[in-house]
């Protein structure tokens, strides 16, 4: 028979000893939360603290929306936990990119101007990083909307910003709205609007390309052209345009992937693949092969002749892809829901706070 009084006494004694150990451990740890806050309060950048053994705890972020490499060779990660910059083998979090109310933001796009300043578009405005100085801009400063989806500095020093409410341009002093035709809401997406602008790209000749919910538009010499209408693209929902090394263009849409070269439009995917959620990010690798995402999960290559699906396995699947990116070393980055990866020799290499860089 169990002696209840003895059992109760032993249990209370064990709990009291355990509590004393925890309290002693907390007070004796030199890196307590209050001390860490004090060390970081005066610093623009602080070392990313994630160093736990669990692989998921080592993520740069569970959701990495975009990746970018600046002219100095630093790699930037835009995540749901703000922006991270990799300089050499040191990964730092940019602390002062904040909403107007002081909260954290999700970074959606990153670009660099001709002076080497890095611009970031996010869920509550835009931010400029100039060395150790961060400047944030909001609707209260003249921005057309705080819900920013893309940002693109041009060669003349202007910063073009695409938002859920349309496009504006910043000349360093003031914001000016840029008028584009109104489109339609994409009812298949959780977030959409008639003035949604997904991507802005300046090509090698200085022409700007706007990918919107009203179609694809080009802008040069103060002249706006409805490229979708002119070329006969079958949908007004355009996701992205990229320029390849030969000066041709690749257009991802809600329906298909198109190439536009020498004034001729070609449907690359057509009825060759089943597209439900559309074509997403596009990149050209160092060998001139076009990589693109279909339906957020499916990865394809196109060598100018053959369309090939990159076959994933349970052990080699990578993330739900938001962005494909080629760095200055011709390495292919794949980021999205699930973190950051590089695709090396057909293997998705998971990149965490500890690299491999």
> Residue 39: pLDDT above 90?
no
The residue ranges of every structural domain in the chain are: 67-351
The CATH class that applies to domain 67-351 reads mainly beta
pLDDT tens digits for 46-70? 444 433 345 566 999 999 999 999 9
- Show the CA angle centred on residue 197, arms to residues 99 and 282, nearest 5°: 105
* Residue 263 burial (C-beta neighbours within 10 Å; 0-12, 13-18, 19+): exposed
The number of beta carbons lying within 10 Å of the beta carbon of residue 265 is 15
Contacts within 8 Å (CB) and 24+ apart, 249-253: 249/203, 249/209, 250/282, 250/284, 250/290, 250/292, 251/211, 251/216, 252/278, 252/279, 252/280, 252/281, 252/282, 252/292, 253/278, 253/279
> Residue 223: pLDDT above 90?
yes
Sign of CA dihedral 265, 270, 273, 278: positive
For position 276, what pLDDT does the model report? 79
Alpha-carbon torsion, ordered 141, 118, 351, 282, to 10 deg = 90
When the pLDDT of each residue in the chain is averaged and rounded to a whole number, the result is 87
> Residue 37: pLDDT above 50?
no
For position 55, what pLDDT does the model report? 57
Q: How confident is the model at residue 31 (pLDDT cuts 50, 70, 90)?
A: very low
The answer to whether the beta carbons of residues 182 and 169 sit under 8 Å apart is no
Find the mean pLDDT for residues 126-144: 97
What is the value of pTM for the model shown?
A: 0.84
């Amino acid at each position: 028979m169990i002696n209840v009084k003895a059992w109760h006494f032993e249990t209370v004694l064990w709990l009291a000893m355990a509590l004393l150990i925890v309290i002693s451990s907390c007070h004796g740890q030199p890196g307590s939360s209050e001390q860490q806050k004090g060390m970081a309060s005066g610093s623009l950048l602080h070392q990313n603290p994630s160093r736990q053994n669990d692989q998921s705890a080592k993520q740069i972020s569970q959701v990495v929306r975009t990746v970018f490499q600046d002219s100095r060779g630093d790699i930037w990660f835009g995540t749901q936990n703000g922006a991270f910059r990799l300089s050499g083998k040191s990964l730092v979090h940019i602390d002062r990119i904040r909403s107007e109310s002081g909260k954290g933001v999700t970074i959606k796009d990153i670009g660099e101007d001709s002076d080497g300043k890095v611009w970031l578009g996010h869920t509550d405005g835009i931010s400029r990083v100039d060395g150790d100085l961060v400047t944030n801009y909001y609707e209260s400063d003249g921005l057309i909307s705080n819900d920013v989806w893309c940002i693109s500095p041009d060669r003349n020093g202007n910063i073009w910003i695409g938002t859920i409410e349309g496009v504006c341009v910043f000349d360093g002093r003031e914001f000016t709205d840029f008028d584009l035709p109104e489109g339609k809401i994409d009812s298949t997406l959780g977030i959409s609007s008639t003035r949604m602008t997904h991507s802005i790209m300046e090509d090698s000749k200085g022409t700007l390309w706007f990918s919107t919910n009203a179609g694809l538009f080009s802008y040069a010499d103060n002249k706006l052209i409805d490229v979708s209408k002119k070329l006969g693209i079958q949908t007004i929902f355009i996701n992205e345009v990229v320029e390849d090394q030969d000066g041709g263009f690749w257009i991802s849409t809600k329906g298909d992937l198109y190439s536009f070269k020498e004034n001729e439009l070609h449907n690359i995917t057509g009825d060759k693949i089943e597209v439900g959620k559309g074509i997403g990010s596009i990149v050209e690798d160092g060998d001139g092969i076009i990589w693109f995402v279909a339906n957020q999960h499916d990865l394809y290559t196109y060598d100018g002749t053959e369309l090939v699906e990159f076959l994933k396995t349970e052990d080699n699947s990578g993330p739900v892809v938001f962005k494909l990116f080629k760095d200055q070393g011709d390495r292919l980055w794949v980021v999205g829901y699930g973190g950051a990866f590089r695709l090396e020799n057909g293997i998705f290499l998971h990149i965490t706070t500890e690299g491999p860089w």
